[in-house]
Amino acid sequence: MAFELVAAIIAAFACGGMMHLVRRLSGRALPAWTVSAAAALGLIGTTVYLEYNWFDRVSAELPEGMTVVWQSQEVSALRPWTMAAPMTTRFIAMNTRDIAAHPNNANLRMAQLFNFVRWQPMDNTLMVFDCAAGRQVLVTEGISITEDGQLQGTDWVTAAENDQFQATACGTA
């Protein structure tokens, strides 16, 4: 966040400074407000670029073995440019290096998910997958798995037809 603030301020000063130089070289033929307008355009342009670039920057920094399994694109009236091109503001990555299989049921797998949301700290959770039955459940307090692989304390959720979470955890992605 501090990086983005500094980048936006530098862009505003750079654009305003260039317009100031152009104004002086033109013998002050351009009105004085063009300097402020150029600074504002630099600030807004940098902010928009950094907003759209967030997903690419963060997902590129993920360590090997982390796979993006879901992303959400947002349209907002407060950001009118998103109506033309929605931007990714949230995504979930799965740690595929440490997917654990149940010792007595090879079709039961558990994977760690990392939830990334713009302007919020990253959080993580666990999800259990039944690869044979095509179902899954988020691990929350009160859920347990018996020695033979039966889930207790919640109900399974059937995975959608092309569910990326299920495909990645079960190795069919």
Residue 58 has pLDDT above 60, yes or no: yes
Three-state DSSP state, 154: coil
**Tokens found for residue 78:** 């407060």
**Tokens found for residue 137:** 């459940």
pTM of the predicted protein model: 0.83
Q: What is the secondary structure of 16-55 as a DSSP string?
A: HHHHHHHHHHTTS-S-THHHHHHHHHHHHHHHHHHHHHHH
Residue range 166-173: mean pLDDT, rounded: 82
What's the pLDDT tens digit per position in 21-56? 999 999 999 999 999 999 999 999 998 999 999 999
What's the pLDDT tens digit per position in 159-169? 998 999 999 99
- Is residue 102 within 8 Å of residue 131, measured between CB atoms? no
CA angle 168, 165, 124 (to 5 degrees): 110
Q: What pLDDT sits at residue 172?
A: 59
Three-state DSSP state, 105: strand
Residue 79 has pLDDT above 90, yes or no: no
